[in-house]
Amino acid sequence: MAFKAIYQEHYRAILGTVSVLALIFLWELLLTFVIPLNPFFFTKPSLIAVAFQEQVIHGALWNDLAVSSRAFIWGFGLAILFGIPIGAVMGWRRRAEYTLDPFLTALYASPLVALAPLIIVVFGVGLFAKAMLVFLLSVFPFIFNTFAGVRSTDRLLINVVRSFGGHEKDLYLKVIFPSSLPYIVAGARIALGRGLVGIIVGEFYAASEGIGFAISRFGDTYKLPEMFAGILVLMIAAVALTEGMRKLEDILAPWRASQESR
Amino acid sequence: MNRLVNFYHDREHYLLGWGFILILLLAWEAIPRVAVLPRGLSLFFTTPTRVIEAFYQLIVENKIQHHFYVSSVEFLLGLALAIAVGLPLGLITGRSRTIDALVDSYVTVLNATPRLIFLPLFILWFGIGMWSKVMIVFIGAVFPLLINTHEGVKNIDRVLVDVVRSFGANEWQVLKTVALPNSVPYIVVGLRLAIGRAVLGVVVGEFFGASEGLGYMIASAATNYKVDVVFVGVAIFMGLSLILTMLVKNIETRLSRWRPEEIKTF
């Protein structure tokens, strides 16, 4: 009885853990006893664990991670720096919206990643090209979410600030920014995913270091356990960042928890 | 004069929007004519007219048709597979709490990870031919479809399900008569997101270890400094994404007029 109650309460966590463990065990057992393992084609969890230990805990992959993060932070930072003001102006000035909206929407809807080869040919394989790619992909969610956030600002609040003699600055800092913050954070989560795409494509395409480069190099040299370890690291990082962003979103705007567009 | 002002005011929205795009294109076209570009930069510079010329040339010489065909096949196959897998899985996880709990962790993790990271693995498994690209398109597009279908089924009115149930419907009939039709608006949103991911998959998949397709055309043109050909490829992808997005967007507004306007998400 007690067991059943506990199960009812935590069934999601229990079943989730069970299914992950079951997959790992099945994978390991199948490739150990049933299917002969072809190391150039596939690998198994125990080998991945060894590679993971070697790459992550003993630090062979740290340098690659640091290189990727630096490019990512630069690109993402620039996206914030440009995206939020552009979005704010678009949301606040009707003519700015009319002027910029079709152009930016077209860019947002199109796969700008197609420009990657050109950017890399022009700017080289270093930090700059990758940061540029991240910027190009992640700036649009900031623009459009800030835009939506500013537009949804309560007119009443604005009128209150105005009637009490608040300056334009007060309007921006005390009303518009706080009320669009949840939107901006939601945009940041989308931008995050797109930025990661930028980093990976940049590093697959042409790089000499970085996590994407490491994964594709492991693939080229048939080091499958190492490759899976690299993928695992990237997955952990992506999940941590996304979930962190989601938590932030819940803190800033608990009433809009978990909207569409994941 | 007054008529002109009125004309402007009535159509300000379009005039400003399209005018801005036009001005940007004209400025782009004008740069090399008014300024002398340094040697290094002019190598990477092209103008809209040269891009159009290159496009025309490629079509006349029949150089682009095959690439276009290959990319379309990869896109359509991958997307079809994603629909065939994502839709039923979304329906099932939406209806069954147990199955949802079993697969949820995989869906969350894979959805957060940029699936392009599997490209080297897929090239290893499926070769450098078409199938590694189909698979990367598939894995990119399947999650938005799955998650949105799931969300749609989750949000069905309980009363509707109970009514169908009390008239003796089995699970299959519940799915068919209530769950699927009611989640169509969600599925369409998922489809729009999936199309974006699918195009991304095609482009990036063809950048690496491919010998045909529009992505390959872009990548090889870039390494040969044929900037106008790069832009032809980019313009095609842009045009197709816009057309597809608008198409789905139209269906979406038709299906969900009652919903509040939502933020743009591509």
**pLDDT for position A262:** 35
Q: Which amino acid is at B5?
A: V
Of A118, A186, A197, the CB nearest to B116: A197
pTM, to two decimals: 0.87
Q: Domain ranges in chain A?
A: 1-36, 56-254
Write out residues 151-180 of B within 8 Å (CB-CB) of A. Answer: 151
Q: In the predicted model, what is the mean pLDDT of residues A175-190?
A: 87
> Does the beta-carbon distance from B98 to A15 stay under 8 Å?
yes
The predicted-structure confidence for B176-207, as pLDDT tens digits, reads as follows 888 888 888 889 889 989 999 999 999 999 98
Query: Is B250's Cβ below 8 Å from some Cβ in A?
Result: no
Predicted confidence (pLDDT) per residue in B109-125, tens digit = 999 899 999 999 998 88
Look up residue A111 and give its two tokens. Answer: 């796969």
How far apart are the C-alpha atoms of B200 and A204, rounded to whole Å? 14
Residues A66-71 have a mean pLDDT of 91
Q: Which of B213, B44, B202, B141 is nearest to A201 (CA)?
A: B202
Sign of the torsion formed by the C-alpha atoms of B181, B87, A261 and A136 = negative
Does the beta-carbon distance from A12 to B20 stay under 8 Å? no
- CB contact (8 A) between residue B225 and residue A121: yes
Three-class secondary structure of residue A56 per DSSP: helix
Which one of 1.10.10.60, 1.10.3720.10, 1.10.420.10, 1.10.287.3510 gives the CATH number of domain A56-254? 1.10.3720.10
ipTM: 0.85
**Which pLDDT score is estimated for B256?**
65
| Tokens coding A196 | 């990661």
Contacts with B18 from chain A: Cβ below 8 Å? 102
How far is residue A193's CA from residue A205's CA, in Å, rounded to a whole number?
Answer: 18
Give CA angle at A126 (A121, A129), nearest 5°.
55
pLDDT at residue A73, as a whole number: 95
Contacts of A125 in chain B (CB under 8 A): none
CB of A120 within 8 Å of any CB in chain B? yes
The arithmetic mean of pLDDT across residues A110-139, rounded, is 89
Across the interface, whether the CB atoms of A11 and B101 are under 8 A apart is answered: yes
Query: Which tokens is A200 given?
Result: 């990976």
Nearest residue of chain B to residue A262 (CA atoms) = B144
DSSP reduced 3-state for B156: coil
Residue in the block written with tokens 């029949």: B62
A188 touches chain B (CB under 8 A): no
The letter for the amino acid at A120 is: I
Would an 8 Å CB–CB cutoff place B128 in contact with chain A?
no
For chain A, percent of residues with pLDDT exceeding 90 = 26
User: Looking at the complex, does the CB of residue A52 fall below 8 Å from at least one CB of chain B?
Assistant: no
Smallest CA–CA distance, residue A81 to chain B, in Å, is 20
Token pair listed for B227: 């900037």
A132 part of contact set with chain B, CB < 8 Å: no
The residue among A11, A64, A65, A113 with the most chain B CBs within 10 A of its CB, best to mutate, is: A113
- Residues of chain A in contact with residue B225, where contact means CB-CB under 8 angstroms, are 121
Q: Which helix (H) or strand (E) holds A17?
A: helix A2-29
Give the three-class secondary structure for A165: coil
The pLDDT of residue A259 is 44
Predicted confidence at residue B258, as pLDDT, reads 54
A residues 199-238 closer than 8 Å to B (CB): 200-201, 204-205, 212, 215-216, 218-220, 222, 224, 227, 231, 234-235, 238
Model confidence over B237-262: pLDDT tens digits?
A: 999 998 998 898 888 777 766 554 55
Count of CB contacts below 8 A, A vs B?
Answer: 184
Residue B257: per-residue pLDDT: 61
Contact flag B116-A243 (C-beta cutoff 8 Å): no
The per-residue pLDDT for A260 is: 41
Q: CB distance A103–B44 less than 8 Å?
A: no
The whole-angstrom separation of Cα B156 and Cα A228 is 39
